[in-house]
Structures are given as structure tokens and as C-alpha cells.
Amino acid sequence: MISKKIEKALQGSSAIRAMFVEGKQMAEKYGAENVYDFSLGNPATPAPAAFNTAIKELVDETDPLVLHGYMENAGYTDVRAAIAENLNKRFGTKFDYHNVTMTVGAAGGLNIIFKTILDPGDEVIVFAPFFGEYRQYAANFDADIVTVNPDLETFQPDLADFEAKITEKTKALIVNTPNNPTGVIYKPETMRKIAEILEKKQTEIGHDIYLISDEPYRELVYDGNEVDFLTKYYKNTIVGYSFSKSLSLPGERIGYVVVPDEASDAEDLIRGIEISNRTLGFVNAPSLLQKAVARCLEEQTDVAFYDKNRTMLYEGLTKLGFTCIKPEGAFYLWVKSPVENEEEFVTAGKKYHLLMVKGSAFGCGGYVRLAYCVSPETIQNSMQAFAKLAAEYQLQSR
Amino acid sequence: MISKKIEKALQGSSAIRAMFVEGKQMAEKYGAENVYDFSLGNPATPAPAAFNTAIKELVDETDPLVLHGYMENAGYTDVRAAIAENLNKRFGTKFDYHNVTMTVGAAGGLNIIFKTILDPGDEVIVFAPFFGEYRQYAANFDADIVTVNPDLETFQPDLADFEAKITEKTKALIVNTPNNPTGVIYKPETMRKIAEILEKKQTEIGHDIYLISDEPYRELVYDGNEVDFLTKYYKNTIVGYSFSKSLSLPGERIGYVVVPDEASDAEDLIRGIEISNRTLGFVNAPSLLQKAVARCLEEQTDVAFYDKNRTMLYEGLTKLGFTCIKPEGAFYLWVKSPVENEEEFVTAGKKYHLLMVKGSAFGCGGYVRLAYCVSPETIQNSMQAFAKLAAEYQLQSR
């Protein structure tokens, strides 16, 4: 007596989440130090001390009726204004509080954006490989995901394929840069071309196409890379942000959505997103957390921590003979499976207590994702396991 | 370029929320002390001190990677176990952690229950008057709300009408006791009869009907009233709970769902609810808040505060000649409009800075709802305004 959609979901469910549970079970069986769990994007560096200080100060200083009470569904005005101001300072944008809606993480943000713009049968284009949950979010509104192939050398999107896949049903494109699962940052040149294609196609098909920028990894970049604010490239851009990774708060579910005034039907979008926030059951982003992140907008996570992990894992695996895409941001390493069917490779890894996620979960088989948001010790200790795995596939160490 | 559903929603939206915004505007114009805003169920008594203490202790004592990190989508096991144990102690139930899923408030809980059980075209029965957002929640899954008339003397549901309205399409019934907006508690006799009807009809139509008990007001009861745990009456009961009112945390969005093992397909329901929690974009209930409420399960809100308000408002309005249903729980007073079209009455009230919500927003015209979760001064000062309103309608004071 469950719904047909959920009946189907019970069969599939999330490969990442299933592995999260499997990892916990293996840790119980073999000891946590003997399991190398690279499955989940759960930050390994703690929230900045300023976050806990902000929480304690807020609790001590704020009227509890305000701190824990209802506010407008879009969030506290002062919090939204602080975020707008911070973005303006960093990116030269011109947002105001009314452009910002506080959300229950980026997942909540994407769902209320989708609810606001998608009708059944609409198509949402994604660049493979992509965060697999986009499929479920689109399915919530009976819309379809259309995938665009990557360039297998650079993992930038194949723009000819992108242009070919835009139809009258296309309502939106999701861009996720720095990318989960590849760690690649889309080049300014790529973004300019994407915007050009969208502008041209909008005119051709006679309706707007929104670019949804899903950017939980915006601040997680290496080697002096930067990610420009995508509203500058294309006016119909809606931004979904999360503090999960930038402040190491994934369990707290706090983020925001930005709709620029230049977007088509901006006012309706903003109101629609506020209504969706309420009616989809979020009501509003958690109040204490809204106030706390507003006090931590200048804080940064320990990027150097992830950078060291990145180098250690990338160099370690490359030396062992694995083919990896060097990550420019986020905290994932995208590794080519030595055999075409990467599920076989994932299974082989488990023998050595290595937990990797199959690429097909990201719409791109033949690869696996390693989340290196783990302790440096995990990476160090995992090397002997990877060495055994490399030997099993007779890889040539370099 | 917004979706058709949201286009429609932009026209309607929430009468309660619109009034919340209007109330803030009136307060700015006339001064907060001169506006009598009875529109929103925003608790007026602060969260127990223990809640803020719990927050501070958690932040000081807990590894931030655990406190702010991902956990299973259903919530921390220790939190779920603590809630199960607390329910067992209070109600003699036999729940375990696996029966409990932590949710983003009751609104989040109802949406993931609906996502788990509803197919398009299914019907959900509600007893009028009812919390109007149920309509939107059902519409999220293309299901329909079917309303059952109340007995206009007692505001218990009309059970003959209920039985008549169960069809093959009926998938669920929502019961909300103590009731928003009437403050009425459904009698044990009513609940027994509801269970009987459901059992009979399940056999007749050949499939399960779930009773969804939406109980944010469980602990808000007066005169020694009690609300029994509805899983005892009917095995296919799913409970949605929120700490919004019981701990005065409406902005924090924290609650839970209980699926008893006796419910049909309990295991599928539990897994479906966990998947829905993730895929609808909640992912999990806010982690710090999960841990904090688990430490406050023995805490109570200041029921005496609301009780005084209840008496003052009920007696004051009755004396002025208004006809009111005496509330047994929750913090709402259900008042008969002196004119058939209660919207006219609501508009008349605004002249005296009285903000009331029209009964039609709850599927029951001819009445208005007053939320008396306000300061006692607001009620006291509002009496002269109600007196003018009574005079306008030539009510006879008693």
C-alpha cells in the first residue's frame, strides 16, 4: 500500500547512502581504522570555532521567541540582507534581501526551485557525470532528466551534445561547478559558450530556460582557482547554495537560493519559491541556524586540509597506475575503472575494505568516485589496499 | 515561466500567512501595542530554559563532526531511541528506534508520509474544519482532499458523513486532535467509532486506509484532558509530531514520524519515509536540533499561560455576545461569525486592528479562528476593539 513511485525507489535507492550504511557495518566488523570509506561527502574538518561561538551567543543574547519563532517563509530579513551584502562584496553583484530565500540545505533549495518552475513532462538538462539525486528531485515534479555527455579527457561538458539536446520541453539546465563527482571546475570559456547556446535556444524555442547553479563547493577550490558568479554570464540564472561543505554543517540543513532581478519573471519566481518552501513542508530554514550562518559569512573551512588529502590521494593512486582526473575543487577524486563495468571494480575494492561509489550512480559508468573528505590517516593507510587492488588488475606503477 | 501549479498558488496562497505579513505592516503603521494580531500559531511563551542549556552543552561537549554531520536519513539512532522510550513510558506503547523517523517539523513529516503512500488521484479524507495546508500537501502528490462535515454543536466529526465519503480511492484519513482551528479534542468514543468504520471499510474496498494522526498539540490540553495515543485504536495509524508548540520551537522545524510495527507494510512504510525524507530534499532533520530535543523530552511548555489566555478570551468574547466553541486543547478559539459571510466580519475586524483568520481557510465558512498564543496584554487590550465589533453587529452582551 505504498505509492508506485516509492515502490520503485525501494528497489533502487541511493548507491551512496547504501554504501554509507555498509561502511558503518564494515567498521563495526573490522574496526573503523581498517575500513577505507571513500563513499560519502561528509566533511572531515570541523565547523569553524566561530560557528559554535555564534550559536552560544545567539542563545544567550536573543529573545527565544524571536530566535526559535516563525518568521517569513523566505527567512529572517536581516539574515537574507547579510548574505546579499556578502555576495555583493565578493562578486560585485547587486542583490538585496528580497533576492535571497533561506532554504533547508541545497537539496531543499533545488526542490523548491524545481517545484516553482517545472510542469510534468518538462526536461531538465544535466552534464554527466552529475549528483544522482537530481533524478529524484526532477521526478518529484514528474519532469525528466536529460544527460549531456562529458569530454572524457577534460570532463568539461560536450557543448555540441548540449546544444543538440535542448528541445521545446527544456525548462532548465543544472550546472554544478566545482563538480561533484569529478572535482573539475568549468572554465569561464565553457560558461560563456553555455550562456550563448542558452540565449540562442531560448529565442528559437520561444520560452525561457533557467540555468540552475548548484554550488555547495563554491569555496572549496585549489591552486588559486576561482568560480565566478554565474548570474554574470546569463541573466536567467538561479543559484542554490549550501553551507554544508563550506562551514562543515551537512547535518544542519542550511542554505539559500538567489534569484536575480534580471531573471525573467523574477518576482513570480521569488514568490513561487517562498510558497514552495512552505507548501513542500520545509516552511522555513531552521531559525537558529539561519542566524548562526549569518554571523559566519567571512569564515572559511580548512581548504588546506582537503588540499593535502587531494595531493596524497591523487599522487598515490596515479603512482599505482590508476588513471585519475586531477580535481580543481570540491573533495572528490574521479578514477577510471580498470575494467569497463565499474561495479565489478567496486566489488573488488570491498575485499580490501575500500568503499568507492560506482560512476553509473552519477550517470557515467566506467569510473568510480572517491570522496577524500576523510582523515589523512585513512588515505595513508588505504594505500596498501589500493596497491593490492592495482595488483589484482595488473596496473603498471609509474 | 513558472509552473502551472505555482501560478495558481500565487493567486491563492495562505490566508494565514498573508495576514501574518499584513499584521507586521499594521504594527509598523499603528504601533505593535495597538494591533491585536490573532492570526498565527506562533507560541508566545518561550522555549523551556533547558532547551537553550541543551544547545550550549551539546556545542561544548560534542565532536562537531558528529554534531553537525550527516547521519542516517531517518536521524540519529540515539535520538530516535530516546523518543521511542519516552512514548513507551507515557503511553504504554512498544516502539523501538526503528519506528521513529526524525523530520523537518510536522509539515515535513506529513509530506514524506504523503509521498510514501499517495498515488495521483488518491483521496485523503479530512474532518472540517482543518489546517488548510493539508490541501497543498496532498496536491504535491496530485491527490485530492475530501472533507467531512462537523457536527456544528460539538465540532466532533459527523461520522455518518465520514462513512459515506470513503471510496475505493480513499488512501488515508487525517485526524488532528486537539484540533486546529477549533481547540476541540475528539472523544475516545469518537476515535473508537472512527476505527470501527475504517476497519469495516478497509475490508469492503479491499485495501488499507492509513489514519494519519497530526498531533503538534498533543501536550497542549486543559482541564485535565488527555489525548490517547491513536495507534491503540487502529493499527494502520501513522503519527506525525512536532516540537513547534510543545517546546515553542516553530522556527526550528523539528519533529518526528512514528510507524508502528502493526501497520500494514510497516517495513516498506518506514523505508519509504526515510527515502522520501532524503529525496524530497529534507535529507534529514537538522542535526543539532535532533540532539537538543532528545534532551528535552521531559520538558513542558507553560500550559497555564495559554490556559489563562483561553479563559480571558473565551469569557470576554462570550460576554460580549459572541458564540465561541470552548477550547479543550491547542491555542485557538473558534468563533461564529455574526454574519454568514465571515470574510465581511474579518474585514470589519481590521478597522479595529483585530486580525482574525476566515473559517473558509479551514474548509468551514461562517466562523473565524483566533490564535490566542499572544501576550495576555494583547487579549486584555483587544477587548475594547471586540466590544466595538460586537456593537457594529448589534450583539447582545451577556
* Domain A49-294 CATH assignment equals 3.40.640.10: yes
**A391 neighbors A383 (Cβ within 8 angstroms):** no
Tens of pLDDT along B196-250?
A: 999 999 999 999 999 999 999 999 999 999 898 999 999 999 999 999 999 999 9
* Residue B281 at interface with chain A, using a CB cutoff of 8 Å: yes
**A111 neighbors A280 (Cβ within 8 angstroms):** yes
User: Any idea what DSSP says for residue B232?
Assistant: G
Joined grid coordinates for residue A111: 526542490
* Beta bridge mates, B335: B324, B368
User: How much of chain B, in percent, has pLDDT values that exceed 90?
Assistant: 92
Interface with chain A: mutation pick from B252, B259, B302, highest number of A CBs within 10 Å = B252
Q: Quick one: pLDDT band at residue A14, thresholds 50, 70, 90?
A: low
**Candidates 2.60.40.1260, 3.90.380.10, 3.30.70.2190, 3.90.1150.10; CATH matching B4-48+301-392:** 3.90.1150.10
Task: For A253, name the nearest residue in chain B, comparing CA atoms only.
Answer: B286
CA distance A210 to chain B (A): 9
- Asked if the bond preceding B327 is cis, omega within 30° of 0, the reply is no
**B184 neighbors B177 (Cβ within 8 angstroms):** yes
Rounded CA-CA distance B55/B283 in Å is 22
What per-residue confidence (pLDDT) applies to B13? 62
* Residue B252 at interface with chain A, using a CB cutoff of 8 Å: yes
Rounded CA-CA distance B238/B234 in Å is 10
**B263 neighbors B202 (Cβ within 8 angstroms):** no
What per-residue confidence (pLDDT) applies to A40? 87
Rounded CA-CA distance A299/A297 in Å is 6
Task: For A118, name the nearest residue in chain B, comparing CA atoms only.
Answer: B3
- The tally of CA atoms less than 13 A away on the side-chain side of residue B110 is 33
Contacts of residue B52 in chain A, CB cutoff 8 Å?
59-60, 64
**Mean pLDDT of the A162-170 span:** 98
Domain parsing of chain B, residue ranges:
4-48+301-392, 49-294
Homologous superfamily (CATH) for A4-47+301-392: Aspartate Aminotransferase, domain 1 (3.90.1150.10)
Provide φ and ψ at B314, rounded to 5°.
-60, -50
- pLDDT over 90 at A23, yes or no: no
Angle, vertex CA A312, rays to CA A311 and CA A314, nearest 5: 65
**Mean pLDDT of the A20-32 span:** 88
Tens of pLDDT along A229-276?
A: 999 999 999 999 999 999 999 999 999 999 999 999 999 999 999 999
Distance of alpha carbon A289 from the chain centroid: 20
Contacts of residue B210 in chain A, CB cutoff 8 Å?
1
Q: Of the candidates A56, A278, A281, which has its C-beta nearest B14's C-beta? A: A278
**B244 neighbors B255 (Cβ within 8 angstroms):** yes
Q: Of the candidates B21, B64, B275, which has its C-beta nearest A46's C-beta? A: B64
**Mean pLDDT of the B377-390 span:** 97
Tens of pLDDT along A202-219?
A: 999 999 999 999 999 999
What per-residue confidence (pLDDT) applies to A226? 87
**Mean pLDDT of the B359-372 span:** 97
**Mean pLDDT of the B53-77 span:** 96
Mean pLDDT, all residues of chain B: 96
* Residue B352 at interface with chain A, using a CB cutoff of 8 Å: no
**Mean pLDDT of the A72-100 span:** 97
Rounded CA-CA distance B184/A234 in Å is 54
DSSP per-residue codes, A20-76: HHHHHHHHHHH-GGG-EE------SSPPPHHHHHHHHHHHHHS-HHHHTS---TT--
**Mean pLDDT of the B111-135 span:** 97
Q: Of the candidates B17, B46, B276, which has its C-beta nearest A6's C-beta? A: B276
- pLDDT over 80 at A323, yes or no: yes
Tens of pLDDT along A103-153?
A: 999 999 999 999 999 999 999 999 999 999 999 999 999 999 999 999 999
Contacts of residue A284 in chain B, CB cutoff 8 Å?
251, 253
Provide CB contacts within 8 A for A25, sequence distance 6+. Answer: none
Q: How many CB atoms lie within 10 A of CB B75?
A: 26
DSSP per-residue codes, B124-153: EEEESS--THHHHHHHTTT-EEEEEPBPTT
